């Protein structure tokens, strides 16, 4: 409920008003310290990742690089056919990448495929 007992819309946490109130209550020093801490703990590291499907002659994932950090929330967004499911299938070890590297908790997925079920859980939709 809002400040006066009026229900808020489902999208309120995504609105500018919500984030303005949170940011105004935090100092910029604490935000930069938190970012510095999170960046020192890389959990998933993806470098130059590519996935090509020869059956359809299509490159679905084309040279992407990103890191996911401990204690951070990340979202994977894109239109239909953008490669979100393909990316998740590679992170889980269901598909092998055509090129590039994926490291999860410092284990390179190509050489440590047996460890993946212990390191990652995936619940689609």
What is the residue-level pLDDT of the chain in tens, covering all 125 positions? 556 677 777 777 777 776 666 555 555 455 455 555 445 689 999 999 999 999 999 999 999 999 999 888 888 999 999 999 999 999 999 999 999 999 999 999 998 888 888 888 888 87
Tell me, yes or no, whether 47 and 14 share the same domain: no
In a domain, 57, yes or no: yes
Model pLDDT, residue 23? 57
Give the closest residue to 47 by CA, choosing from 17, 28, 68.
Answer: 68
In a domain, 125, yes or no: no
For residue 112, the enclosing domain spans: 42-119
Q: What is the CATH number of the domain that holds 95?
A: 3.40.50.300
DSSP assignment of 9-54:
PTTGGGSHHHHHHHHHTS-HHHHHHHHHHHHT-EEEEEEEEEEEET
Tell me, yes or no, whether 13 and 70 share the same domain: no
- Token readout for 94 is 């269901």
Question: Is 97:51 a contact under the CB 8 Å cutoff?
Answer: yes
Model pLDDT, residue 123? 82
Model pLDDT, residue 30? 52
Give the closest residue to 51 by CA, choosing from 42, 41, 61, 43.
Answer: 61
Tell me, yes or no, whether 26 and 47 share the same domain: no
Model pLDDT, residue 49? 97
């Amino acid at each position: 409920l809002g400040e006066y007992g009026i229900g808020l819309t489902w999208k309120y946490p995504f609105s500018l008003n919500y984030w303005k109130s949170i940011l105004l209550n935090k100092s910029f020093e604490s935000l930069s310290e938190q970012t510095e801490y999170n960046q020192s703990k890389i959990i998933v590291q993806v470098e130059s990742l590519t996935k090509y499907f020869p059956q359809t002659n299509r490159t679905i994932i084309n040279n992407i690089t990103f890191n996911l950090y401990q204690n951070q929330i990340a979202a994977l967004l894109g239109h239909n056919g953008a490669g979100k499911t393909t990316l998740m299938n590679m992170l889980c070890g269901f598909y092998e990448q055509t090129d590039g590297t994926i490291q999860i908790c410092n284990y390179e997925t190509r050489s440590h495929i047996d460890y993946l079920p212990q390191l990652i859980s995936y619940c689609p939709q």
